[in-house]
Amino acid sequence: QQQVKQSPQSLIVQKGGIPIINCAYENTAFDYFPWYQQFPGKGPALLIAIRPDVSEKKEGRFTISFNKSAKQFSLHIMDSQPGDSATYFCAASGGYQLIWGAGTKLIIKP
């Protein structure tokens, strides 16, 4: 019940396309859902986060969609750029610790 399932494992998108990464959780006590971006050799950096009282949050080119009834949330990257190539992790929390998805390696082709 503590798991967060993330898909796909990897994703290749042409520049300008809209990659979509999906996550699903089981624990209804989770109430904080961040997305982290990680470049090779670096620590994860918070990209955007959402709470379950809203269905969508947008920050720049990044949007989280949240479906509380389905216990799913997703990250959309609008007008993707080669610089967005990184590994993306979804996570969920109901306390101190973050429970992480397995990560999606995203490649944006020029």
Partner 1 sequence: EPEVTQTPSHQVTQMGQEVILRCVPISNHLYFYWYRQILGQKVEFLVSFYNNEISEKSEIFDDQFSVERPDGSNFTLKIRSTKLEDSAMYFCASSAQGIHQETQYFGPGTRLLVL
Binding site for partner 1 (CB under 8 A): 31-32, 34, 36, 41-46, 49, 51, 89, 91, 93-103
- For residue 98, give the nearest of 55, 9, 51, 35 by alpha carbon: 35
List strand residue ranges (DSSP E) for the chain, in order.
4-7, 10-14, 20-25, 33-38, 45-50, 56-59, 62-67, 72-77, 86-92, 99-100, 104-109
Minimum distance, C-beta of residue 89 to partner 1, in the bound complex (Å): 6
For partner 1, the closer CB: 18 or 29: 29
Of the pair 66, 89, the CB lying nearest partner 1 is at: 89
Check if the beta carbon of residue 64 is closer than 8 Å to that of residue 75: yes
CB of 41 or CB of 110, closer to partner 1: 41
CA distance 91 to 45: 12
Provide the minimum distance between the beta carbon of 79 and partner 1 in the complex, in angstroms, as a whole number: 25
Q: Identify the CA nearest to 30 among candidates 83, 72, 81, 62.
A: 72
Min CB(83)–partner 1 separation in Å:
19
Query: Which is closer to partner 1, CB of 63 or CB of 93?
Result: 93
Could you tell me the smallest distance in angstroms from the CB atom of residue 42 to partner 1? 6
